[in-house]
Structure 1
Amino acid sequence: MTSLNHDPWTLCDILSEPSEVRGAPLLYFFEGFMDAGSAGQGVVDFLLDAYDHEPVASFNVDALIDYRSRRPPLTFEIDRWSDYEAPSLVVYLLHDSADNPFLLLHGPEPDFAWERFTDSLESLIDHWNIPVAVGFQGIPMGVPHTRPVGLTVHATRPELVFDNRPMFNEVTVPGHMAGLLEYRLGQSGRDVVGLSAHVPHYVMQMSFPAATMRLLAGVEHATGLSLPKDEALEEDQKRVIEEIAAQAEESEEVATVVESLEEQYDSYEEAAENDDMLREGRMPTADELGEAFERFLAEQDNKKNDDKKNNDE
């Protein structure tokens, strides 16, 4: 095991360095922040179950984790302590279905030293010439489970954004490691893509496999990896849909919420089909805003004229 550099305070140790790590894309997911529907954790579980994985780098969790805020499990048997599940923040090397190598960073979100951690990961990215890093998670949204799962794609360069239809213009959220990492790496000119699957807010506390499948498709698009569909995920999603349907039958309140969200979703989709800005997922230009405002005023004038005509009659 060797440190990435000679700084005694370095946070990253290289465990092994097979040739495949150089030039491989990096996927990352940190436990501890928002992950509605366990969508991001589902991606990690799928990848580690589907492919052999070898640890190639690790981070010093003693310098990063607050043990008292999330105490690791310690097992006691009869008259002795028999096991300790130490937290770990590890980079694994995997190969996809076409034998393409990729890296997966997974573990608890650091509690401390965010900037030092970001610097260490940036050094590792440079050392292994990693072309792109991709983070992923589930976020709660006011959407129905009966419609396709939406995806918000964000990146450090506009050219990296794909299949995107923004749901909001600007929002401020609590800081988190995945977001800071994307921001800092973008500042230094590196390519990072973030994927956020839209999970119905009323199922955010339960597993929602459809969001995991949507993230896996997004990872494929962002990296070019070949990740097969998982029949177990599809079966789990069918089970979830059946459970929600049963709850809707038993509760008029649940049924009303779902129906209302379906109407909102369909109205938005219909509007998007007739609006270039919504369909293309971009902000309007000044000219487009002016044209839209002029159309609005014209429609208001027409409405007033129609109302006046009807009153005269």
Structure 2
Amino acid sequence: MEYLRLESFPELRSPVLICAFAGWNDAAGAATGAARFVVQRFGARRFGGFDPELFFDFREVRPLVRLTVRGEREISWPQNDVFFARNPTGPHDVAVLLGTEPNLRWRTFAGEVAELAERLGVELVVSLGALLADVPHTRPVRVTGSALDAAVAERLGLQPSRYEGPTGIVGVLHTLLRERGIPGATLWANVPHYLTSSQNPGATAALLRRVSELLEVEFDLRELDAAALRFVAEVEGALQANPEAQEYVRRLEAAYEEGGQEQPQLPRGEDLVLDIERFLREQREGGNAG
């Protein structure tokens, strides 16, 4: 591996590699939130990362400047780091790749990840994603799963991937994994398209429930579930002042119950999104001020 800088190389037992990238694949931060939960839950340790200089256009993904407690300027660069953890309660140790979807050299980046998976002896690579969909915030979050390899899909109870169209780093990665004979699967949480930037704890929890099945380990999701209830209550508060939005959500609920075959038309979509997001932002800023 030429571009993935490893500080150590762990010996893992039947490992599963979990990947999540902020950006196009990560609506409402659900996927990276789930991967971060896994890192924290297992007390995973960082053992390497990619040099951001090679894989990012910093005009598109800007570094962040902050002041330290000593008043010194510090630059935080976009990262893609790898972590590992032993799993004392299940058959699979865990590796996690957590970061931001790169702008450049996708084949090189994905090839490095595939080589790492091969060297670690990874038995399964699971990429996490979240997409904006015509679903209501009042119903359980749907998680869809697929695999490029039909045999892997059948073994995990997923659907063979038949997607055609624009793809992200996840699609490139799984293609290279298949070429190396490494089993891979993707899990996608469906989040309401009218909540474009708010963190969605329910979607994060839904992804984690599927991950826990693959790892054969139990996660304590009580805090996330409580946060999901608060999130729904906040959105309901935002809808009180917008009867048209309430009606739209009711129609989404009906379509959800019927299996989603007929999607309602979005009334003044930009206004609906902005109204709800503005309300949620004001609620949180008000809470922080108190």
TM over 0.5: yes
- 1:13 aligned onto 2:5: yes
* Equivalent residue in structure 1 for 2:120, among 124, 128, 131: 128
Q: Residue in 1 aligned with 2:270?
A: none
Q: Residue in 2 aligned with 1:177?
A: 169
Amino acid at match of 1:247: A
Q: Residue in 1 aligned with 2:150?
A: 158
Q: Residue in 2 aligned with 1:217?
A: 209
- 1:93 aligned onto 2:64: no
Task: Extract unaligned runs of 5+ from structure 2.
Answer: 263-290
Q: Residue in 2 aligned with 1:111?
A: 103
Shift of 1:242: 0.7
- 1:148 aligned onto 2:148: no
Shift of 1:81: 4.7
Structure 2 distance, partners of 1:211, 1:158, is 26
Shift of 1:13: 2.2
Structure 2 distance, partners of 1:170, 1:109, is 20
Q: Residue in 1 aligned with 2:22?
A: 31
Shift of 1:268: 2.1
Structure 1 distance, partners of 2:28, 2:88, is 26
Shift of 1:60: 2.3
Shift of 1:260: 0.5
3-state secondary structure, aligned to 2:190: strand
Deviations 1:29-67 (A, max 9, x none): 112223222211220232233231211232222211222
Deviations 1:119-141 (A, max 9, x none): 21222111111111000111111
Structure 1 distance, partners of 2:244, 2:162, is 31
Amino acid at match of 2:10: P
Amino acid at match of 2:43: D
Structure 2 distance, partners of 1:88, 1:268, is 39
- 1:248 aligned onto 2:239: yes
Q: Residue in 1 aligned with 2:286?
A: none
- 1:54 aligned onto 2:49: no
Q: Residue in 1 aligned with 2:200?
A: 208
Task: Extract unaligned runs of 5+ from structure 1.
Answer: 5-9, 272-313
Amino acid at match of 1:142: D
Bigger Cα displacement from structure 2, 44-53 vs 193-202:
44-53
Amino acid at match of 2:165: T
Shift of 1:164: 5.2
TM-score normalised by L of structure 1 = 0.74
Shift of 1:188: 3.2
> Which consecutive segments of 4 or more residues in structure 1 shift more than 6 A?
none
Evaluate the alpha carbon distance shift between residue 70 and residue 142 of structure 1 in structure 2; reply closer, same or farther with a 3 A threshold.
Answer: same
Amino acid at match of 2:7: L
Structure 1 distance, partners of 2:159, 2:185, is 15
TM-score normalised by L of structure 2 = 0.80
Evaluate the alpha carbon distance shift between residue 258 and residue 171 of structure 1 in structure 2; reply closer, same or farther with a 3 A threshold.
Answer: farther
Q: Residue in 2 aligned with 1:233?
A: 224
Evaluate the alpha carbon distance shift between residue 264 and residue 169 of structure 1 in structure 2; reply closer, same or farther with a 3 A threshold.
Answer: farther
3-state secondary structure, aligned to 2:208: helix
Deviations 1:211-261 (A, max 9, x none): 11111112123x334141322211111111111222232211111011101
Q: Residue in 2 aligned with 1:258?
A: 249
Structure 1 distance, partners of 2:194, 2:88, is 35
Superposition RMSD in Å:
2.7
- 1:199 aligned onto 2:168: no
Structure 2 distance, partners of 1:246, 1:261, is 18
Task: State the identity as a percent.
Answer: 23
Deviations 1:269-303 (A, max 9, x none): 799xxxxxxxxxxxxxxxxxxxxxxxxxxxxxxxx
The number of residue pairs the alignment matches comes to: 259
